[in-house]
Amino acid sequence: MLKRIVIALSLVLAYASTAPATAGGCGGCKGCSKAAQSGHGPCCGKGKAFGVALASQKLYDALAGQDVSASDVENCSCPNCKTAASCQGCCDQCMFAGGKKYASQVAYRLAKGKPMPAELVAACPKRCDECKTAHAKNGKCKKCGVGFVADRMFENDSDYQAALAALQLIEKAAKTAKHCEQCAVAMVTDGRCDKCNVSYKNGRMASAGH
């Protein structure tokens, strides 16, 4: 019996030692593993934003929010930001959510949602079976009146629809980045690509030079 226990324990330890390399998909890189598991983060010149794989560091930087410290909030002239910081809320005017300020409206629309990974949905007694099904496909639970997008929960339909559109735009920008990083960044920031001589508004080409 003792021999069997020792063998079983050895197999468990052997699996654990190889698991990080498999999860990261980057030769065991801890940063890539963390990004793969959380769905958000940069590593090795690439990363993930709201679960979308990005091959462009510039695009990730455009979508990543900037951490806001307590002193930053205290010195901020916006009363909405101070209220949001005290109750884990959001400020649409400053695009502040989850302790971060965003330069991209696209990223902010997703950041407004309450973090809700699959593990939390499964463990939370408030989440029903329909919630679990909706979470798996970025859908809505009609019973509870909540929607899920990119491991985040939205309690009103307008925010849910905006987040769904934002995720689709990020997926489109990720593909565009393979051909032109500047265009990809411009798509999520309502900016301009001088290289291609085009501007973007709401993720679409707004004007082109002649």
Q: What is the pLDDT of residues 93-111, one digit of tens each?
A: 999 999 899 999 999 999 9
Give the pLDDT band (50/70/90) at residue 21: very low
pLDDT, one tens digit per residue, over 161-188 is: 999 999 999 999 999 999 999 999 999 9
pLDDT on residue 176: 96
Per-residue pLDDT at 134 exceeds 70: yes
Q: Angle at CA 31, nearest 5°, toward 23 and 117?
A: 60
Stretch among 52-56, 81-85, 125-129 having the lowest mean pLDDT: 81-85
Residue 7 vs residue 77, higher pLDDT: 77
Question: Which among 14-18, 91-95, 138-142 has the top mean pLDDT?
Answer: 138-142
